[in-house]
Amino acid sequence: MTELTAEDAKLVTLARGARGRIGASEGAAIRDDMGRTYSGATVDRPHLQITALELAVAQAVASGATGIECAVIVGAVDADTACVADLGGSGVPVMLCAADGTVQDRRVS
C-alpha cells in the first residue's frame, strides 16, 4: 500500500485512540469538507448499538458538516460504509486498517 498523507495518518491515530479508550472492536475517524475531524468507537450496549463509523459521521452531521473528505476504520475486517456516502456522496476514500494502523484495504463510498 502507498504511504499515508500526514492528514490521513492523523485520522488513523484518532481512530486507534477512540478504539483503545474503551477497548472497542472498531474505531473510526473522518475529516469533513472543512478539515475538521471526528472520531468514535463502536458502542454495543443492550439498548444502543452504533458502529464507530456511524458515530463519527453522526458527530460530523451534528456539528454542521456538509461533506466528508476521507474516512478511516481501525479494527474492521469488513465494514458497511454507506453512512459515508450519506454525508459525503460517492467517491469518498475509506481506508480499513488493522489494529496497529496499517492500511489493509482502500475503497470509495
Give the tens place of pLDDT for each residue, 52-67: 999 999 999 999 999 9
Q: pTM for this structure?
A: 0.93
The single-letter code of the amino acid at 36 is R
And the C-alpha cell for 47? 439498548
- CATH number of the domain at 6-108, please? 3.40.140.10
Domain ranges of the chain: 6-108
- Residue 92 clears pLDDT 60, i.e. is over it: yes
Q: Would you say the C-alpha torsion 55, 32, 29, 89 has a positive or negative sign?
A: positive
Which pLDDT score is estimated for 78?
81
Radius of gyration of the chain measured on its C-alpha atoms: 12
- Answer whether residue 4 shows pLDDT above 90: no
Mean of all residue pLDDT scores within the chain: 94
Q: Which amino acid is at 44?
A: D
